């Protein structure tokens, strides 16, 4: 009888531990994954030497992370041009990179590297690095770079 009670007690303790772990683990890993649709406003200089900024409003359709801890996305701009991008997430830290559309002669070609923190349904403290298609031996990147910022909210 006492043995049966002891077993029952152990089972209860085990259940409690498992339940606690179940509740605890998601909070540790917790940041929601980025995948889904995002409305993002990216503010960067208009051109490599410009002091004037432009704001690009894009929709990011983010696919889930793959086995390599990186994932794909599509980025559609206000002119309905869609390009591919890739992203990575470690905890709340997000990194996104893609090539700006540059088919038209008026386009200035560049690569964007975007870093942010994911908080709920918002991308916060978004930092943008622009690497222009302009060689520059004095820049550590060997190409001219600029800085910008971005914000994002989940949904269209």
Partner 1 sequence: MLRVVAFVAGVVLIFGASIGRKAVAQSDFTLAGEWILSFSPINGQLTSKFGNTLGFADRDITFNQDSSLFTAIVDREDLGPSVKPLGDWRVSGDNFSATFELWCPDPASVCGTVTLRGSFVNNTKINGTATVFFEQDDPTTPTGLDTWTMQFTGRQVAGG
- Using rule CB under 8 A, residue 33 touches partner 1: no
- Given 74, 77, 108, 154, the residue binding partner 1 (CB under 8 A): 74
Q: Which stretch binds partner 1 (CB under 8 A): 5-13, 20-28, 30-38, 64-72?
A: 64-72
- Using rule CB under 8 A, residue 35 touches partner 1: no
- Given 31, 47, 61, 143, the residue binding partner 1 (CB under 8 A): 143
- Given 57, 84, 119, 121, the residue binding partner 1 (CB under 8 A): 84
CA end-to-end span of the chain, whole Å? 62
Tokens for 126, please give them.
Answer: 């978004």
- DSSP classification of residue 8: H
Check: CB of residue 90 under 8 Å from CB of residue 65. no
- Using rule CB under 8 A, residue 83 touches partner 1: yes
Tokens 């910008």 appear where? 148
Span 119-138, contacts to partner 1 by CB under 8 A: 127, 129, 131, 133
| Phi-psi group of 42: left, alpha or beta (phi > 0 → left; psi -120 to 50 → alpha; rest → beta) | beta
Residue 122 CB: number of other CB atoms within 10 A? 14
Check: CB of residue 123 under 8 Å from CB of residue 149. no
Check: CB of residue 148 under 8 Å from CB of residue 56. no
Q: Which stretch binds partner 1 (CB under 8 A): 6-14, 20-28, 39-47, 60-68?
A: 60-68
Tokens 């339940």 appear where? 19
- Using rule CB under 8 A, residue 64 touches partner 1: no
Footprint of partner 1 on this chain (CB under 8 A)? 66-72, 74, 81-88, 90-91, 93, 95, 97-99, 102, 109, 111, 113, 115, 127, 129, 131, 133, 139-143, 145-147
């Amino acid at each position: 009888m006492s043995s049966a009670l002891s077993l029952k007690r152990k089972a209860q303790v085990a259940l409690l531990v498992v339940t606690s772990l179940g509740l605890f683990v998601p909070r540790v890993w917790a940041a929601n994954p980025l995948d889904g649709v995002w409305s993002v406003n990216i503010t960067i200089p208009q051109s490599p030497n410009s002091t004037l900024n432009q704001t690009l409003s894009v929709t990011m359709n983010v696919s889930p992370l793959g086995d390599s801890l990186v994932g794909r996305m599509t980025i559609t701009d206000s002119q309905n041009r869609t390009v591919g991008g890739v992203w990575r997430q470690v905890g709340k830290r997000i990194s996104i990179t893609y090539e700006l559309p540059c088919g038209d002669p008026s386009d200035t070609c560049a690569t964007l590297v975007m870093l942010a923190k994911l908080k709920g349904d918002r991308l916060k403290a978004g930092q943008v690095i622009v690497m222009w298609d302009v060689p520059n031996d004095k820049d550590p990147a060997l190409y001219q770079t600029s800085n910008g910022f971005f914000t994002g909210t989940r949904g269209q």
